[in-house]
Amino acid sequence: MTIDILQKDATSIACDLLVVGRFEGVGSRASGVGADVDKALNGALTQFIEQDGFEGKFGQTFVFPTFGNVKAKRIAVIGLGEKKSWNADAARKIGAHVVKAAERANAAKVATVLHGLGINNVDAYTTAEAMTEGVLLSDYRFHAFHGTKRSEEKKPTRIATFVMCETDSRIGKRAKDGMKMAEVLASATCYARDLVNTPSSHMTPKDLAEEAKKLVAGRSSRREVGMGSLVVKVMDAKEMEKKKMNAALSVGRGSQHEPVAVHLTYAPRGAKKKIAIVGKAVTFDSGGLSLKPADSMMTMKIDMAGAAAVLGLFKAIAELKPNVEVHGVFLAVENMPGGNAYRPGDVVTAKNGMTIEILNTDAEGRVTLADALCYAADLKPDVIIDLATLTGACVVALGEDMAGLFSSNDKLAQKLTNAAHETGEELWQLPLFAPYEEHIKSKIADIKNTGQRGSAGTISAALFLKPFVGDIPWAHLDIAGPSYIERESRPDQPYGATGYGVRLLAKYLERL
């Protein structure tokens, strides 16, 4: 799909579908482009809307033919909901709803305007950025594994061109900048989705490390990455052993696929801050010897969604070149119950010397993150943020549509919450409630990897991570819920991996 912003009157565009918007509760008389269309159709738009009882409820659409009275073959009216609820995320969802309406109408060429411009101070840049994201994110399909029989499905949609019209050249220029930003962010998000959707057979620890190398290949020098440099360090199991990453290594011992550590660095000259992002990278979580029930295992290819978010972020960073030093760290392992697997009852020693009693090999994420967080802390960044599909308990607490946020630093939590609000990647802060540290006290080691059955499992998992970070301001995002969806909850998220975190982190870095 090509997407563009044109300095033209929307009614002058020859297209299959022209989409105009309508807020709820503003009466049946059209305004803006809707009014122009209505005039050209001798009031038919108003008449149709009244007859249909169209109320302008958010996402509601109504399509009718123009019989050649305007250049568009058909008009769609889309409900923008109540004006007081309008914001960037509404614009994003409207972009997605427009795509859905166009798909239903089999439209190849779609024209629309920048909806809700100026309402509640949503400016041209933000509107175009959000709408473009909505369009591109809803257009995503994962077809890499369809055989030849389903090749006709490889076409994501029938939309070939999508244009947003704006007659004011200054507004159009700002909108174009927003659109370009969204193209980068949507492409990075869809890349992360691809990584997560790829089955574990094709996304082993080594494959994940190869992806990091591919991102860097061809653009590692300062000139190629603007003023910055982009480098990747890949460490095999031997090197990980030298670096004392024995906690992560023990998780990987039951698999035929060796663990591998990845450290991406983006370092622009004169960076004002240094941020480390750590991702959980379990390429398949069978539970290990504490084997998962078959049904719980079915989607466990997604257990590297944290690392996918890190890779997606670096794909965006390579284009956007922010003035921040960013380190991306993940220790890729597969959690399998092979003959050499780590066992319940084992004690393993993490990179910082802390001993961990393993009581459930399915609580492997925190064990791998222990070493990853130690590694990140050794880089002495200003902030550490980790993303991990860490606990089923977080999904029980918050559902599939939001991540759990934990932070030792209120300012950092606020910044991430603000960024999430802007990008529509919902999160909710949960407490690092110190008394629950009791839950992870071990009788024989420094800490144990399970909490108290049925009691705040997502909090005890977060508390487990804390001592490996030390004093550095830190935030932990439990993304077990929103990384993957089987039932559509947002129009911009089709079935499967969501790419949660990529845009959120990019926005956080942009606003630093």
- 361 or 407: CB nearest Zn ion: 361
Please, what is the minimum distance in Å from the beta carbon of residue 461 to ligand BES?
7
Q: Which does 258 bind (CB under 5 to 8 A by kind): Zn ion, ligand BES, none?
A: none
Q: Which does 450 bind (CB under 5 to 8 A by kind): ligand BES, Zn ion, none?
A: ligand BES
Please, what is the minimum distance in Å from the beta carbon of residue 497 to ligand BES?
12
Nearest CA among 188, 232, 458 for reference residue 330: 232
Respond yes or no: is residue 292 known to be catalytic: yes
The arrangement of strands across the sheet holding 427-429 comes to 228-235, 260-268, 325-335, 274-285, 383-388, 474-478, 403-407, 427-429
Please, what is the minimum distance in Å from the beta carbon of residue 53 to ligand BES?
42
Contact 465, 370 (CB under 8 A): yes
Respond yes or no: is residue 272 known to be catalytic: no
Three-class secondary structure of residue 194 per DSSP: helix
Q: How far is CA 144 from CA 102, 116, 189, in A?
A: 24, 37, 16
The arrangement of strands across the sheet holding 355-357 comes to 347-349, 355-357, 447-448
Concatenate the DSSP letters of all residues of 19-72 into one string. EEEEETTS-S---HHHHHHHHHTTTHHHHHHHHHT----TT-EEEEE-TTSSSS
| Residue in 366, 448, 466, 490 annotated catalytic | 366
Please, what is the minimum distance in Å from the beta carbon of residue 34 to Zn ion?
50
- 365 or 482: CB nearest Zn ion: 365
- Residues at the contact surface with ligand BES, assessed by CB under 6 A: 285, 303, 360, 362-365, 389-393, 395, 450, 457, 480
User: How far is residue 385's CA from residue 379's CA, in Å, rounded to a whole number?
Assistant: 13
Q: Which residue is it, tokens 């031997």?
A: 238
- 162 or 464: CB nearest ligand BES: 464
Please, what is the minimum distance in Å from the beta carbon of residue 487 to ligand BES?
14
Please, what is the minimum distance in Å from the beta carbon of residue 394 to ligand BES?
8
- 304 or 311: CB nearest ligand BES: 304
Give Cα 368 to chain centroid, integer Å.
Answer: 22
Q: Report the residue number whose CB is nearest to ligand BES.
A: 392
| Residue in 71, 180, 219, 292 annotated catalytic | 292
Contact 158, 103 (CB under 8 A): yes
Q: Is the dihedral of CA 220, 225, 226, 227 positive or negative?
A: negative
Which tokens go with 484?
Answer: 């993957």
Q: Which helix (H) or strand (E) holds 223?
A: none
Please, what is the minimum distance in Å from the beta carbon of residue 287 to Zn ion?
5
- Residues at the contact surface with Zn ion, assessed by CB under 5 A: 282, 285, 303, 362, 364-365
Please, what is the minimum distance in Å from the beta carbon of residue 502 to ligand BES?
18
Q: Which does 360 bind (CB under 5 to 8 A by kind): ligand BES, Zn ion, none?
A: ligand BES
User: How far is residue 428's CA from residue 423's CA, in Å, rounded to a whole number?
Assistant: 14
Beta bridge pairs of residue 447: 356
- 164 or 282: CB nearest Zn ion: 282
- 124 or 192: CB nearest ligand BES: 192
Q: Which does 480 bind (CB under 5 to 8 A by kind): Zn ion, ligand BES, none?
A: ligand BES
Please, what is the minimum distance in Å from the beta carbon of residue 302 to ligand BES?
6
Q: Which does 392 bind (CB under 5 to 8 A by kind): ligand BES, Zn ion, none?
A: ligand BES
Which tokens go with 388?
Answer: 């991990």
Q: Which does 395 bind (CB under 5 to 8 A by kind): ligand BES, Zn ion, none?
A: ligand BES
Q: Which does 111 bind (CB under 5 to 8 A by kind): Zn ion, ligand BES, none?
A: none
Three-class secondary structure of residue 409 per DSSP: coil
- 167 or 296: CB nearest Zn ion: 296
Please give the single-letter amino acid code of residue 291: L
103 CB-side CA count, 13 A:
15
Q: Which does 230 bind (CB under 5 to 8 A by kind): ligand BES, Zn ion, none?
A: none
- 38 or 362: CB nearest ligand BES: 362
Length of the chain: 512
Contact 24, 82 (CB under 8 A): yes
Q: How far is CA 406 from CA 55, 429, 471, in A?
A: 41, 6, 15
Contact 403, 413 (CB under 8 A): no
Q: Which does 393 bind (CB under 5 to 8 A by kind): Zn ion, ligand BES, none?
A: ligand BES
- 365 or 494: CB nearest ligand BES: 365
b/e per residue 311-323 (b: at least 16 CB within 10 A): bbbbbbbbbbebb
Where in the sequence numbering do the catalytic residues fall?
A: 292, 366
